[in-house]
Amino acid sequence: MSLFEQLGMVMLRSLDPEKSHHFALSALRAGLAPLPGPVTSPRLKTKFAGMEMPNPIGLAAGFDKNAEAIPQLSRAGFGFIELGAVTPRPQPGNPKPRLFRLTEDQAVINRFGFNNDGMEEITNRLARCRHSHHRTDIPVGLNLGANKDSEDRAGDFAKVLARCGNFIDFATVNVSSPNTERLRDLQGPEALEALLAGVMDARKGLDHNVPILLKIAPDLDNSELMEIAEVARKAALDGVIATNTTLSREGLKSAHKNEAGGLSGKPLFEKSTRVLAQLSRHLGTDVPLIGVGGVGSALDAYTKIRAGASLVQVYSAMVYHGLSLAPRIARGLDELLEKDGYDSVLEAVGTGRDAWL
């Protein structure tokens, strides 16, 4: 991390967390953040659901909810980025304060509640950026959400895909956020099958094939993961993201540890990696996985890959380590792969899964 970025991080941490988040996005759009372009090598180049990535390190949903900084984020060293979550209608989300730093735990708790500008405004931004010469050509995905007061939450996911789908490279069905009441009920097999069928129908009307991913919670037991795996196969999903934030508060030290919302960051690493490994065992090679939860170093990313992930996403660790974390992780991962004699990321996927079972 450069001295300039270190000073910027000190300034950002002095602000209220949500104001800091908005300021970071503004600084990014203004060109005040490191933008090295995609970090890549023959070992790091990878494919997932028909998409080609320069490296397997992606940005998780939640950082750029409203698709405001696509050109800049596409040049920040990531192999792919995910925007959103986006709902059909704009909504303000939950009352503030709703974002908390747990510095002693290197963690974050949020209860945003799908605050976003709505699919119409976000589709306009996606369309403007789709062929912009200011962006690097890496996959750009969208996290699909449902309005809090919707009479048909399952239908909301299909509605957002139908509106935004022509301007994205993949879409994630997010039924695992803990911050919209009863949203996680949609993870049940019957409800999930019906929801995914609607999303798949909406995909048929798009002008290109958009891979559909499912993001699951880390608070699922093994029998629930087996049900998810079966639904994923039946629905012919293109991938599963494991995992979203957790409701667990085990072992936390920070003053904000009892705030309501989803916990992300370092304390989530073991829990999410265990779920990833279990799901990898159930799915085998049928449906590829993306590992997310507590990734803050190249070794963390490598551990997720060896536990069964083909790609890895980061977000909360950037609160403590800056935007340059992504290219640092990618370069470090390249070194780890080389050290262990792997010629590609794919060769390492699942090689350490048994240690987590």
Q: Which residues of 63-72 are buried (b: 16+ CB within 10 A; e: fewer)?
A: bbbbbbbbbb
CATH number at residue 249: 3.20.20.70
pLDDT tens, 214-272?
Answer: 999 999 999 999 999 999 999 999 999 999 999 999 999 999 999 999 999 999 999 99
**352 labelled binding-site residue:** no
Q: Are 170 and 49 in contact (CB under 8 A)?
A: yes
Ordered DSSP codes for 162-211: HHHGGG-SEEEEE---TTSTTGGGGGSHHHHHHHHHHHHHHHTTSSS---
Indicate whether 216 belongs to any domain. yes
127-140 tens-digit pLDDT: 999 876 667 789 99
Q: Say whether 82 sits in a helix, a strand or coil.
A: strand
Q: Does residue 157 form part of some domain?
A: yes
What total number of domains does the chain contain? 1
350 among annotated binding-site residues: no
Query: Can you give the residue range of the structural domain that contains 322?
Result: 37-356
Assigned domain for 292 exists: yes
Residue of 20, 74, 176, 177 marked active site: 177
Q: Is residue 21 part of a domain?
A: no
Q: Give the mean pLDDT of 137-158.
A: 96
**Catalytic residue flag (residue 176):** no
Which value, to the nearest 10 degrees, does the dihedral of the CA atoms of residues 144, 149, 151, 153 take?
Answer: 20
3-state secondary structure at position 213: strand
pLDDT in tens, 310-357: 999 999 999 999 999 999 999 999 999 999 999 999 999 999 999 999
Q: Is 4 annotated as a binding residue?
A: no
Task: Report the alpha-carbon distance of residue 253 to residue 248 in Å, rounded.
Answer: 13
Domain assignment present for residue 349? The answer is yes
Look at residue 247 and tell me if it is in a domain. yes
Q: Residue 57 is which amino acid?
A: I
Distance separating alpha carbons of residues 9 and 11, to the nearest angstrom: 5
pLDDT tens for 23-46 read 999 999 998 888 999 899 999 999
29 belongs to a structural domain: no
pTM: 0.97
Task: Grade residue 10 by pLDDT with cuts at 50, 70 and 90.
Answer: confident
